[in-house]
Amino acid sequence: MPVFDPKPILANLPNLPGVYRFLSTKEDVLYVGKAIDLKRRVSSYFQKNDQSPRIKLMLGQVADIQTTVVRSEAEALILENNLIKALAPRYNILFRDDKSYPYLMLSGHRYPRLAYYRGALDKQNQYFGPFPNGYAARESIQLLQRVFKLRTCEDSVFEHRTRPCLLFQIKRCSGPCVEQIPAEQYQQDVLNATQFLQGKANDLLTDLDAKMRIAAASWQFEEAAAYRDQIHALAKVQEKQFVSSNASETDADIVACVVENGLVCVNLVMIRGGRHVGDKSLFPAHGEGYDAQGALEAFLVQHYLDRNIPPVIVCNSSSDNVTLDELLSAQAGRKISIVSNPITERRVWLEMALKNAVLAIQQRLLSESTQLGRIEALQVALQLPDTAQRIECFDISHTMGEATVASCVVYDRLGMQPKEYRHYNIAGITAGDDYAAMRQVLTRRYGKIAQGEGMVPDVILIDGGKGQIGVAVEVIEEVGLQGALLVGVAKGESRKPGLEQLIVPSRNQTLQLPRDSAALHLVQTIRDEAHRFAITGHRARRGKARVASSLEEIEGIGAKRRQKLLSRFGGLQGVKAASVEDLCQVEGINQTLAEKIYQALH
């Protein structure tokens, strides 16, 4: 293989800002970087002799260099971030978020709804957050329900209530759906909740205390008692907050990056409305060889571009990247301060985040050592090579043959890989025929992989006995898949955990590992996850089928009318809750048809 000579490319690079990409012989992108001066930055890689082991390894694989010239360093920063997220180069550190972050939403309805929300933000509604995880957001909803009693029901349910729901009975909702509270008073509760979420709890307490005294002086004792209860509930909330803020910026993110024992961890702490709402530890992909400052800068760019940004970001490493401050400020439409040398309470927040990052690394190392022991035990038990680590497992789920779904879950890199899980809807087979379902899913998955469209696993686990594993053997031979070991996981006598048998057809072998075997525990974990994932997919498919079929069975309801009904009332439950008069409001539904729908659903 000829040695790559960068000189012709370097000679023609401009002294302009831009983005560069190092490519391998297979034209895979190895690394993406930005530069104020492309010629000087890219040339520096081939002029230095003291490069880190990671950079030396990467340069040994470079076969080509591509560049894109842009107008400014800010544009280079954005393009670099987009390319890293899109291409996931092997030598770029990459922070992945499983999902968009959750928010609290107050809808634009005349009686605003308090709700948990993920997704694109709509200007018609008010949003508070983001929160580090769903638990923190839902906990805040429960808190606001106790204090302000805002409704949480869907609009379709709200519009069709005729009597208060259970939340009203347990004093978690003020019952605006049936006018148990005047509209003006409900709006005041909404304003109070907004004030609290914006970190103005002390102002709110002062205001509520004044209103309580006025109501008591006017002998409005029930009203005064309601204010008293809100004050007590808010006081309890403040007592529980072990982190609070007296600073003028009551929204802040604390970002602590720690590199230890070869692992990079970023702990993100979110302060919202002066309240600590939770934290999240993030472990990036391809973090080997990065120091804390490099990893932190990568996180700030990847996390905050195209996302809501608090006015203050406190971090544990200084950055010379002034462009990032300017870019984030321009994106937010206000000044964003990145503070690397905090004082007073911010220093306390940062020290707490650093401790959490260190603890997260220790837990990850402990978990990885456990997982390493399990995979090594499985390698010994199944006589696998030391490099074997990718396991795919299949299961089938249905109810009396209805809505059959197959699941495929993946174990790789010492852990389950949920992003690689797949559901397969099974069709065109005899209802309840598990063998045919297994044949279909394996053919669909490994037919493509055998043609080079995916990664060949080291082990394929089949949840079932000799019948299912026999079908799997036939499919693997038919599609011509090479290199994977087929293993059936058969339930043992009395179907008790720990008595499973492992069937290896290629060796005509049946193994029963000890109940305390680390290898058996790994197999059980993967098998149980495949079972759980299959049931989840089956229930979702069955639910959709039943919703559609209950309306399909009504004469005169075709696909268009069914869609209009479901859209108008927010789902089947909303249609069931609708009166005949409400149903008549839907386009294409007359009185006779409305009565027929009502009778069919009740």
Residue-wise pLDDT tens digits, 155-169: 888 988 888 888 998
Identify any residues that bridge with 313 across adjacent strands, giving them in sequence order: 253, 338
Closest CA to 250 of 313, 198, 206: 198
Quick one: pLDDT at residue 245? 40
Structure tokens of 334?
Answer: 């206000």
Residue 346: band (very low, low, confident or very high) from pLDDT cuts 50, 70, 90: confident
Quick one: pLDDT at residue 313? 92
Quick one: pLDDT at residue 54? 86
Domain positions in the chain are 7-87, 252-362, 391-540, 553-601
Q: Across all residues in the chain, what is the average pLDDT?
A: 86
What average pLDDT does the segment 82-86 reach? 89
Structure tokens of 226?
Answer: 């309601």
How many Å apart are CA 104 and CA 197, to the nearest integer? Answer: 9
252-362, what's its fold? Nucleotidyltransferase; domain 5 (3.30.420)
For the chain, the straight-line distance linking the first and the last C-alpha, in angstroms and rounded, comes to 75
Within 8 A by CB and 6+ apart from 580, the residues are: 591, 594, 595, 598
If DSSP codes are grouped into helix, strand and coil, which group holds residue 444?
helix
CATH assignment of 7-87, among 1.20.59.10, 3.90.950.20, 3.40.1440.10, 3.30.360.10: 3.40.1440.10
The answer to whether residue 99 scores a pLDDT higher than 60 is no
Quick one: pLDDT at residue 411? 96
Going 21 to 22 to 25 to 30, the CA torsion angle's sign is: negative
Quick one: pLDDT at residue 231? 78
Quick one: pLDDT at residue 441? 96
What average pLDDT does the segment 170-186 reach? 91
Closest CA to 357 of 435, 236, 265: 265
Q: What letters, b where the CB count within 10 A reaches 16 and e where it falls short, cover 272-284?
A: bbbbbbbbbbbeb
* CATH number of the domain located at residue range(s) 553-601 in this protein: 1.10.150.20
Residue 236: band (very low, low, confident or very high) from pLDDT cuts 50, 70, 90: low
The answer to whether residue 138 scores a pLDDT higher than 70 is yes
How many Å apart are CA 144 and CA 557, to the nearest integer? Answer: 42
Report whether 340 contacts 319 (CB < 8 A).
Answer: yes
pLDDT tens, 65-82? Answer: 999 999 988 889 889 988
Quick one: pLDDT at residue 248? 41
Report whether 23 contacts 30 (CB < 8 A).
Answer: yes
Report whether 60 contacts 24 (CB < 8 A).
Answer: no
Q: Which amino acid type is present at position 86? A: A
252-362 and 391-540 share one CATH topology?
Answer: yes
Query: Regarding predicted confidence, which is higher, 356 or 561?
Result: 356
Which segment of 269-278, 485-494, 502-511 scores lowest on mean pLDDT? 269-278
Alpha-carbon separation of residue 351 from 216, 268, 294 (angstroms): 46, 12, 20
Structure tokens of 245?
Answer: 């803020």
What average pLDDT does the segment 88-108 reach? 84
pLDDT tens, 422-480? Answer: 999 999 998 889 999 999 999 999 999 988 888 999 999 999 888 999 999 999 999 99
Report whether 294 contacts 93 (CB < 8 A).
Answer: yes
Structure tokens of 578?
Answer: 């609708």
Closest CA to 475 of 509, 446, 504: 446
**H or E stretch at 115:** strand 114-117
**Residue 47 C-alpha from the chain's centroid:** 42
Q: Which amino acid type is present at position 113? A: R
Which range is most confident: 187-196, 274-283, 357-366, 577-586? 357-366
How many Å apart are CA 511 and CA 203, to the nearest integer? Answer: 69
Q: Which amino acid type is present at position 465? A: G
Quick one: pLDDT at residue 107? 93
Architecture of the domain defined by 391-540: 2-Layer Sandwich (3.30)
The answer to whether residue 549 scores a pLDDT higher than 80 is no
How many Å apart are CA 525 and CA 409, to the nearest integer? Answer: 11
Neighbours of 388 (CB within 10 A): 17
Number of H helices, E strands in the chain: 20, 19
Which segment of 93-102, 396-405, 465-474 scores lowest on mean pLDDT? 93-102
Report whether 104 contacts 140 (CB < 8 A).
Answer: yes
How many Å apart are CA 241 and CA 139, to the nearest integer? Answer: 13
- Return phi, psi of residue 211, to 5°: -65, -35
How many Å apart are CA 230 and CA 216, to the nearest integer? Answer: 15
Quick one: pLDDT at residue 317? 80
**What DSSP state is assigned to residue 537?**
H
- The model carries a pTM of 0.66
Which segment of 85-94, 315-324, 484-493, 534-543 scores lowest on mean pLDDT? 315-324
How many Å apart are CA 273 and CA 201, to the nearest integer? Answer: 8
Report whether 286 contacts 90 (CB < 8 A).
Answer: yes
Quick one: pLDDT at residue 172? 87
Quick one: pLDDT at residue 579? 83
Report whether 309 contacts 284 (CB < 8 A).
Answer: no
pLDDT tens, 253-275? Answer: 999 999 998 899 999 998 877 77
Query: Regarding predicted confidence, which is higher, 507 or 222?
Result: 507
The answer to whether residue 243 scores a pLDDT higher than 60 is no
**H or E stretch at 533:** helix 518-552
The answer to whether residue 565 scores a pLDDT higher than 50 is yes
How many Å apart are CA 498 and CA 528, to the nearest integer? Answer: 13
Going 334 to 337 to 338 to 344, the CA torsion angle's sign is: negative
* Three-state SS sequence of 290-339: CCHHHHHHHHHHHHHCCCCCCCEEEECCCCCCHHHHHHHHHHHCCCCEEE
